[in-house]
């Protein structure tokens, strides 16, 4: 089993040293969250809490993900990086392809695109992007990105994106993995049909086996049962070694360690966070290698 440290909500100046500590502790990679901004008057409903309210606000740190990952990649040699999640339909696929292609090349292929449809309508409205069609644009964007990352001249004539032959250079040396996040039936279908993996939203361990089974069913229906498929599964329960072993048997390929804001006091120091990473490596990761 692989382990990822969630570095969401972390002070930007601490990201590079914490990435080095995560690499030393034996983590496979780190995860970083994305939002363009947080509106003062939030009308959108957060889909993953009973009251529809997110556990963050305008004061929560959301550094730009790809700039931050570039800095962390430059400070490490083996660690992998993904977003949890990047709001893909909010962006232009040509810009995303350019950024991720270059970042993959410079990091030696250590970056993945963990992406979702997004839920904050205010972000889409501010950028003049239609919110109601984001799912269909999402699907088309995945095809566009993969075509551009193959290199050479590419043209695309779809419902939402249309361009004649063009080339983005440099292209990555290997495909950038695309992990689809989300819990809705549409998100699970998208992950199974189009993704290289799935990222959970914070599941109770009791409900995760059914989700993983459903993903296997959907992948079989899509003719993809034999293809490699990552399942990055944040859990609502503490990282008990025996529990993780059991879930690995159910098909969970990667677990996560919670953000520091969940496990340490407010304003925890860099030294405290580093110590937390190293302890997790000794007490959890080392026992599941």
Rounded Cα distance between 11 and 268, Å, is 10
Query: What is the Cα 225 distance to its own chain's centre?
Result: 22
Q: Which residues pair with 29 in a beta bridge?
A: 4, 80
Residues 250, 259 contacting (CB under 8 angstroms): no
At 232, which helix (H) or strand (E)?
strand 230-233
How many other β-carbons are positioned within 10 Å of the β-carbon of residue 77? 11
Give the H/E segment covering residue 30: strand 29-32
- Predicted confidence (pLDDT) per residue in 74-128, tens digit: 999 999 999 999 999 999 999 999 999 999 999 999 999 999 999 999 999 999 9
pLDDT computed for residue 75 by the predictor:
98
- Measured CA to CA in angstroms, residue 112 lies from 86, 103, 213, 281 at distances of 11, 10, 24, 23
CATH class, domain 2-288, is: alpha beta
The strands making up 80-83's β-sheet, listed across from edge to edge, are 80-83, 29-32, 2-6, 254-257, 230-233, 197-199, 178-181, 113-116, 86-87
The reported pLDDT for the residue numbered 289 is 83
Across 2-14, average pLDDT: 98
CB 49 within 8 A of CB 100: no
CA of 56: how far to CAs of 35, 49, 52, 85, 196, in Å? 11, 12, 12, 15, 29
Question: What is the length of the chain?
Answer: 289
Q: What is the pLDDT of residues 201-243, one digit of tens each?
A: 999 999 999 999 999 999 999 999 999 999 999 999 999 999 9
Long-range contacts of 103-107 (CB under 8 A, 24+ apart): 103/66, 103/69, 103/70, 103/73, 104/172, 104/173, 104/174, 104/176, 105/170, 105/171, 105/172, 105/173, 106/70, 106/73, 106/74, 107/69, 107/70, 107/73, 107/81
pLDDT tens, position by position, 238-281: 999 999 999 999 999 999 999 999 999 988 999 999 999 999 99
Within the chain, residue ranges assigned H as helices are 15-25, 65-74, 93-107, 121-127, 134-149, 185-194, 208-221, 241-249, 260-263, 270-283
Q: Are 200 and 136 in contact (CB under 8 A)?
A: no
Q: Does residue 190 carry a pLDDT above 90? A: yes
Distance CA 225, CA 151 (A): 27
In 3D space, the residue among 19, 69, 53, 11 whose CA is nearest the CA of residue 261 turns out to be: 11
**Looking up tokens 């390929």, which residue turns up?**
253
Average pLDDT, the chain: 97
Six token digits for residue 117 = 């449809």
Query: CA-CA distance, 91 to 104, in Å (whole number)?
Result: 18
pLDDT digit string (tens) for 22-36? 999 999 999 999 999
Statement: residue 183 has pLDDT above 90: yes
């Amino acid at each position: 089993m692989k382990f990822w440290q969630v570095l969401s909500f972390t002070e930007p100046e601490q990201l590079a040293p914490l990435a080095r500590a995560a690499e030393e502790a034996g983590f496979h990679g780190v995860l970083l969250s994305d939002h363009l901004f947080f509106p003062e008057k939030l009308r959108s409903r957060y889909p993953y809490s009973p009251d529809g309210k997110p556990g963050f606000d305008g004061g929560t740190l959301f550094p730009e993900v790809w700039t931050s990952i570039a800095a962390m990649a430059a400070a490490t040699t083996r660690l992998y990086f993904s977003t949890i999640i990047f709001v893909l339909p909010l962006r232009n696929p040509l810009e995303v392809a350019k950024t991720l292609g270059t970042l993959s090349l410079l990091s030696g292929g250590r970056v993945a695109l963990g992406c979702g449809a997004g839920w904050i309508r205010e972000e889409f409205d501010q950028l003049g992007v239609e919110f109601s069609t984001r799912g269909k644009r999402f699907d088309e964007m995945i095809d566009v990105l993969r075509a551009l990352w193959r290199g050479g001249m590419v043209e695309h004539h779809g419902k939402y994106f249309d361009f004649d032959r063009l080339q983005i250079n440099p292209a990555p040396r290997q495909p950038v993995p695309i992990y689809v996040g989300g819990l809705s039936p549409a998100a699970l279908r998208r992950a199974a049909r189009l993704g290289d993996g799935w990222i959970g939203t914070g599941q109770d361990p009791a409900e995760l086996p059914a989700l993983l089974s459903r993903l296997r069913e959907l992948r079989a229906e899509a003719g993809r049962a034999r293809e490699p498929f990552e399942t990055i599964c944040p859990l609502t329960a503490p990282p008990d070694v025996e529990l993780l072993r059991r879930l690995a048997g159910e098909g969970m390929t990667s677990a996560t360690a919670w953000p520091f804001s969940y496990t340490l006091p407010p304003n925890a120091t860099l030294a405290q966070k580093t110590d937390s990473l190293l302890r997790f490596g000794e007490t959890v990761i080392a026992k599941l290698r």
